[in-house]
Structures are given as C-alpha cells and as structure tokens.
Amino acid sequence: MKITKAVITAAGRNQRGLPLQTLIDRDGAQKSALQIIVEEVLTAGINDICVVVQPGDERAYAAASGEHARRLSFVEQREPRGYGDAILCAREFIAGQPFLHLVGDHLHLSDDGDGSTCAQQVVRIAEAHECSVSAVQPTRESLLPNYGAVGGKRLPNQERLYLVDHVLEKPTPTEAEQTLIVPGLRAGYYLCFFGIHALTPTVMDLLADLAASDERSAFTLSDALAALLHRERYLAYEVLGRRYDIGVRYGLLNAQLALALGGRDRSEVLAQLVELLATRS
C-alpha cells in the first residue's frame, strides 16, 4: 500500500478561520496554520493534497497556503452535515486510493528522536501493515468530550501499536470505561485521536453508506471507523509527538509557544517569557 494523497478538513462551522491564523514556525518563518499542516503532509512524501472548505472559502485558503497553493485541490462541503461528510466530499479526489487525513484545527509536533514528523510516522506504519491506522495519544478522561477515542489490544512485539476493537466519538467516561479498555494504559487515560489518520478507500465507502442511510443527520469519521474494524484490520498508533488544538481557548497561543520553544528561536522566546513572568510578578 502506497499513500500518495491527503485530505485536510477545514469546513467546520467554528473552525473555518483557524487554518488561516498566522504563526511563527520552528524555522522562524511566518506561516499560516494551513501552511504548517501542508508541510507536515509533504514530509510524508505526499504531494497531492485536497482541502475541504466551506463554500466561498477557497480563495482565502489558497492565499493562506502560499507557495503550496499549486499542490492543493479544493472541495466545498455544501451543507454542514458533519465531519464525516466533509471527508466524503473528497471521495472523487481520492479515487479509490488510500489517503492520509489531517484535521485543519490541529498542529502536530513530533518528539521522534530520528526526526520523523507525525505524519511520516503514521504513513510508515500504515504502509508497513497495509491497513488503516489512526494516530492516537493517551489523553486524560476529562478531555473526552473533545475527541474520538479507541479501545483495543497491543499488538505483540510492536511498540505503541494497537489492534482497535472499539471506536467512540466523544464518549462519556462511563462509556469509555466500559468499552475502551486498553491493557497497560493508566487508569483514567484513553487513546484519543491525534488528528492524523492513514485510511484505506473502504472508509470512503463506509462514509458513503452512512450518508445514504440517513439524509438528515450529521455523522462523524468515528462512525465509519467503528464500522471499518468489522471489515478490515484497523490499527491505532501511539505517535511520538504532541497535538495542539488551535480551536480551543488559548489553543493558538499554546501551539505558538510549542512551535517557538521547539525551534530556532527557543532562547529568544524563553528570555521573553522569563521577562514577562518577572514583570508580572
């Protein structure tokens, strides 16, 4: 399995402006969030990228992607039918191929010692195991209302790799505790989605089934993944890295600090922070 395409979703009602936000990347350059996400995709060797946007947003996004604009295709999600439907909008673009999917409101920073980005790690695992792989991160139960989460068993002789047996979207801790059991994980922690998935084309079929089953209701990617594990082998990979949700309160600030402290300007930013702290106290 070779992944050559990627889908970035940015059509959410409350997140349409997020990828357009400007940050200073680790290399000290000023970039939009979209540019940073696109560059994450590029590191995985994927050059064919589709961005799902709300109607009328294409121009702004194209502008925000700077030099990468030529690599991007844009698809509009005409009705707000949810996250699952947004991915389904890219079905034609995918054309029956496996694809990498990133959400447009998260930035990812790798902690991998060998320098692999998060997207690289996920693609490598998916290609090696020839199946869908979702990047996950152990997350405290108090954050469950924000994420999809999986339960499963560790694959023998594999580090940080799980065979998924349950998927739930934003579960309550009650459901999570009963269903999302992962041996070896600390109590009160669950494997929540990281915002990066490497998916087989079956996921598109499942999304299409969901779209067809009920015209009115919104559906999520988790609904399709919950069905996927009954059809195909589906793995979760505990990625070496961190995700930053720029859609939450102080999310953008947090992401900016993480980028700055993980990059070229670390000393400068640290010095400013110390000065700030000293002044405020």
Partner 1 sequence: MSTLIEIITATDPALRDRSLDAFAEAAGLSELLAECAALDAFRRRSDNLYERVRALFFLYAIHRFHLPAKPGMPARGLIPFAGYEHLLSRRFEEAIATFRRAWDEQGPNQALSSALAEAYHRLAFQTLADQVRRSVRTVRGNQWMFRIGHPADHPLRIRGELLVPGATILRERTPVRMDLSHSAWSDIFFLGMDFPEGARVLNVSIDLAVRGRDAAPRPPVEAYLRVIDEPVLRLTSVDLGATADLTHLRDVFDFARDYLGLLKAAVIASGIVPPGMEGAGQPLSELLARLVGPGKGLELVSSVNDIPKGSRLAVSTSLLACLIACCMRATGQAKSLTGPLAENERRLVAARAILGEWLAGSGGGWQDSGGVWPGMKLIYGVLAEEGDPEYGVSRGRLLPNHKILDRDDASDAVRQALQDSLVLVHGGMAQNVGPILEMVTEKYLLRSEAEWAGRRDAMRVLDDILVALRGADPRKAVQDIGRLTTHNFFGPLQTIIPWASNLYTETLIARARQAFGSDFWGFWMLGGMSGGGMGFIIAPESAERAKGALYDIMLTTKRELQHALPFAMDPVVYDFAINPTGTQADLLCEADALMPTGYYALHAPRLVKLDQRALTPMRRADLDRFANATRTRREFSGMTKALFDRLLPRLAGDDAGPGGASQLEELLEAFGFDRAQHEHIRADLKSGRIGLAQNRLPANVHVEDVSAGDPDSDPGRDVLVNATDRRRLADFERIGREAMRDGQVAVMTLAAGAGSRWTQGAGVVKALHPFAKLDGKHRTFIEVHLAKSRRVCRLYDAPVPHIITTSYLTHGPIAAYIARRPSSDDVPVFLSEGRSVGLRMIPMVRDLRFQWEEMPQQILDEQAQKVRESLHAALIAWAQHAGEGSDYTDNVPMQCLHPVGHWFEVPNLLRNGTLRALLDDYPNLRYLMLHNIDTLGADADPAMLGLHIARGACLTFEVITRRVEDRGGGLARVDGQVRLVEGLAMPREEAEFALSYYNSATCWIDVHQLLAVFGLTVADLGDAPRVNAAIRAVGARMPTYITLKDVKKRWGHGQEDIFPVTQWEKLWGDMTALSGMKSAFVVVPRLRGQQLKDQAQLDGWLRDGSAAHVESLCDWA
- φ, ψ (nearest 5 deg) of residue 75: -130, 140
Biggest CA pair distance of the chain: 59
Size of the site for partner 1 (CB under 8 A): 16
**Terminal-residue alpha carbon distance, the chain:** 56
Three-state DSSP class for 61? helix
Question: DSSP letter at 51?
Answer: E
Task: Output 24 or 181, the one with its CB closest to partner 1.
Answer: 181
Least separation in angstroms between residue 66's CB and partner 1 is 38
**Residue among 12, 220, 23, 191 nearest 105 (CA):** 12
- Window 115 to 154, contacts with partner 1 (CB under 8 A): 140-145
| Complete DSSP assignment for 196-227 | EEEE-THHHHHHHHHHHH-SSS---HHHHHHH
Question: Is residue 25 involved in binding partner 1 (CB under 8 A)?
Answer: no
With contacts defined by CB under 8 A, name the span among 22-30, 47-55, 168-176, 268-276 that binds partner 1.
Answer: 168-176
Choices 105-113, 155-163, 172-180, 244-252; region in contact with partner 1 by CB under 8 A: 172-180
Candidate segments 38-46, 80-88, 181-189, 245-253, binder of partner 1 by CB under 8 A: 181-189
| Three-state SS annotation for 235-251 | EEEECCEEEEECCCCCH
- State yes or no: residue 174 binds partner 1 (CB under 8 A): yes
Query: Which listed range, 29-37, 169-177, 193-201, 225-233, lies at the site for partner 1 (CB under 8 A)?
Result: 169-177
Q: Is residue 279 a contact residue for partner 1 (CB under 8 A)?
A: no
Cβ proximity to partner 1: between 72 and 226 the closer is: 226
Phi/psi at 130 (5° precision): 55, 50
Positions in 59-98 near partner 1 (CB under 8 A): none
Q: CA angle, corner 17, sides to 134 and 20, nearest 5?
A: 85
Task: Determine if 173 is a binding residue for partner 1 (CB under 8 A).
Answer: yes
Which residues lie near partner 1 (CB under 8 A)?
140-145, 172-178, 181, 187-188
